[in-house]
C-alpha cells in the first residue's frame, strides 16, 4: 500500500507542475482565471509536499505532536480548494462574491470546519497516531468531513442551477472539478482515501483548466473574427469619396455623349455597390465566382473612367473554391489606386487562379509604381486586414512580392478544406 501512496503523491506533484506551467505560458486566459488557477495549483502542490512529509513521519514512532500538526496542515490544504471553487463559480456567473448568500453560507461552514480541525490538536476524538506510529481515526472523524461535504454539495447544486449563466465548456469544467471532489469526500468520511482525494482533485483541476482554456481561446478567436469583420465593414462604408464622385460625374457626362454607355456604367456601379454591401452582411466564406463578379463590376466602373489607361487581364480557369468576402476586389482596387501613374503608360492588372496540390492560388499582379511591403502604409494596412481574415476564416495566407517588371504581386493561398 505504501508504494502505491508514494506513486500517487508523485503523480500528483507532476500534474500540479504541469497545471502551473500551462497556466503561466498559455496566452488567451483572462487575468481572474489565471490568478485562480495559479493559486489553486500552488495550494495542491503544497498539499502534496505536506502529504509526502506526513507519510515519511508516520514511518517512525513518536513525535505525535508533529504528526498531528502535519495531519492538520494536510487536511486544511486539501480542503482549501473547495471555497476557492465557490468564489470562482460566483465570478464566472457574474455574481458579487461579497454580497452572495452562497459565499456567506460557505464561509460559515468553513468556519465550523476550521474550528473542528483546530480542536483535533487537543483531542483524539477525530484522529490520532498510536505509539507504533500508525494513523487512526476517532469516532468523530465523519463530523469533521460534514461541513466540507455540505460545501461541495452546495457548489454542485448552484453550478447546475446557474448553468445558463455559464458557457457549455465552463459548465462541464465545473462539473468535472466538483463531482470527483464530492464523491471522494463522501467516501473519505468512512474510509481513508486521502491519496485518492489528492490525485482526483488535481486531475479534475487540470481537466477544468483545459475546458476553460479551450473556451477562452474560442472566445478570443470569435472576437478577432468580429473585429476583422467590423474593419471590413468600415472599409466598405468608408468607400473613397472621390471614386464615388468621379463615377457619378462620368455617368453625368456620358448621359449626353453616350447614353448607352452611361446606362451600362450605371448598371456596373449599381452592381458594384450591391455586391459591396452584400459582402459586408456575409459572415462566412463565399464562392470565388461571386467575388470575381464583384471585382469585374468594380473594374468596369474604373475602365469607363480611364479607358485605355487601365488594361485588365483575367485568367481564371479554376473557380471551384470559397474565400472570405471582400478579398479579391480590395486587392485589385489597391492595385489600381496605388499603381496608376497618370504620367506613365497604361496600368496593366492581371488576375490569375490555379489549382495546387494543397488547394488553390490566386495571383494579382500589376506593373504600377509598387510600394514597400515593410512600410506601414495605407495599401499595406488594407492587405494586412485581408491576410487576417484569410487566416481566421479559411486558414489561408497572403504574400506580397515585387513584380519583376515593376509593380506588385499579391499571392493568396487557400487550402482544400474550403472547397
Largest CA distance in the chain: 114
Distance of CA 135 to the CA centre of its chain: 47
Per DSSP, the chain holds a count of helices (H) and strands (E) of 13, 9
Model pLDDT, residue 221 = 72
Q: Which regions of 77-212 does DSSP assign to beta strands (E)?
A: 127-129, 135-137
Contact 380, 371 (CB under 8 A): yes
Tell me the pLDDT tens digit for each residue of 133-148.
Answer: 566 677 888 888 889 8
**CATH node for 2-223:** 1.20.1070
**pLDDT tens digit sequence for 273-295:** 777 767 666 667 888 998 898 88
Residue-wise pLDDT for 15-73, tens only, equals 888 888 888 887 767 888 889 889 988 988 888 888 787 777 766 666 666 777 777 88
Q: Is 356 helix (H, G, I), strand (E, B) or coil?
A: coil
The pLDDT of residue 392 is above 50: yes
Mean pLDDT, range 256-273, rounded to an integer: 80
Residue 103, pLDDT score: 92
- Summary mean pLDDT of the chain: 80
Where exactly are the structural domains of the chain? 2-223, 239-418
Judge whether 349 and 329 are in contact, CB under 8 Å: no
**pTM of the shown model:** 0.58
Residues 78, 201 contacting (CB under 8 angstroms): yes
DSSP 280-335: HH--S-EEHHHHHHHHHHHHHHHHHHHGGGEEEEEE------EE-SSSHHHHHHHH
Predicted pLDDT at 200: 77
Is the model's pLDDT at 419 over the cut of 50? no
The topology under which CATH files domain 239-418 is Heat Shock Protein 90 (3.30.565)
**Band of residue 362 on the pLDDT scale cut at 50, 70, 90:** very high
Q: In whole angstroms, what is the distance from residue 256 CA to residue 263 CA?
A: 11
pLDDT at 243: 65
Residue-wise pLDDT for 97-151, tens only, equals: 888 899 999 999 999 988 888 887 777 777 666 665 566 677 888 888 889 889 9
Reduce the DSSP state of residue 130 to 3 states and report it.
coil
Q: pLDDT at residue 238 above 60?
A: no
Amino acid at each position: 500500500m505504501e508504494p502505491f501512496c508514494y506513486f500517487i503523491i508523485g503523480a500528483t506533484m507532476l500534474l500540479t507542475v504541469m497545471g502551473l506551467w500551462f497556466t503561466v505560458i498559455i496566452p488567451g486566459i483572462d487575468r481572474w482565471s489565471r490568478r485562480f488557477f495559479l493559486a489553486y495549483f500552488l495550494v495542491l502542490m503544497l498539499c502534496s509536499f505536506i502529504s509526502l512529509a506526513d507519510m515519511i513521519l508516520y514511518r517512525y514512532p513518536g513525535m505525535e505532536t508533529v504528526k498531528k500538526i502535519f495531519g492538520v496542515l494536510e487536511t486544511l490544504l486539501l480542503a482549501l480548494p473547495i471555497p476557492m471553487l465557490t468564489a470562482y463559480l460566483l465570478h464566472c456567473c457574474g455574481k458579487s462574491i461579497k454580497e452572495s448568500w452562497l459565499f456567506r453560507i460557505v464561509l460559515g461552514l468553513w468556519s465550523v470546519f476550521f474550528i473542528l480541525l483546530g480542536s483535533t490538536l487537543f483531542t483524539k476524538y477525530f484522529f490520532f497516531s498510536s505509539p507504533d506510529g500508525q494513523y487512526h481515526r476517532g469516532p468523530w472523524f465523519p463530523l469533521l468531513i460534514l461541513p466540507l461535504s455540505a460545501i461541495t454539495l452546495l457548489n454542485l447544486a448552484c453550478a447546475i442551477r446557474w448553468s445558463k449563466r455559464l458557457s457549455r465548456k465552463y459548465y462541464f469544467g465545473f462539473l468535472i472539478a466538483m463531482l470527483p471532489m464530492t464523491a471522494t469526500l463522501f467516501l473519505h468520511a468512512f474510509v481513508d482515501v486521502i491519496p485518492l482525494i489528492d490525485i482526483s482533485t488535481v486531475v479534475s483541476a487540470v481537466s477544468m483548466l483545459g475546458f476553460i482554456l479551450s473556451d477562452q481561446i474560442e472566445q478570443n478567436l470569435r472576437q478577432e473574427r468580429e473585429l476583422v469583420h467590423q474593419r471590413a465593414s468600415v472599409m466598405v462604408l468608408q468607400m473613397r469619396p472621390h471614386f464615388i464622385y468621379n463615377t457619378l460625374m462620368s455617368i453625368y457626362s456620358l448621359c449626353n455623349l453616350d447614353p448607352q454607355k452611361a446606362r451600362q456604367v450605371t448598371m456596373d456601379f449599381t452592381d458594384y455597390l450591391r455586391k459591396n454591401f452584400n459582402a459586408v452582411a456575409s459572415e462566412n466564406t463565399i464562392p470565388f465566382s461571386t467575388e470575381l463578379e464583384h471585382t469585374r463590376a468594380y473594374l468596369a466602373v474604373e475602365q469607363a473612367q480611364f479607358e485605355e489607361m487601365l488594361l485588365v487581364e483575367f485568367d481564371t480557369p479554376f473557380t471551384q473554391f470559397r474565400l472570405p468576402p471582400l478579398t479579391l476586389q480590395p486587392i485589385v482596387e489597391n492595385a489600381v489606386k496605388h499603381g496608376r501613374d497618370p504620367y506613365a503608360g497604361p496600368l496593366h492588372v492581371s488576375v490569375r487562379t490555379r489549382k495546387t496540390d494543397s488547394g488553390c492560388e490566386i495571383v494579382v499582379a500589376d506593373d504600377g509604381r509598387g510600394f514597400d511591403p515593410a512600410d506601414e502604409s495605407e495599401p499595406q494596412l488594407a492587405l494586412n486586414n485581408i491576410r487576417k481574415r484569410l487566416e481566421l476564416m479559411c486558414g489561408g495566407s497572403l504574400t506580397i512580392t515585387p513584380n519583376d517588371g515593376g509593380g506588385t504581386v499579391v499571392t493568396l493561398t487557400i487550402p482544400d478544406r474550403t472547397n
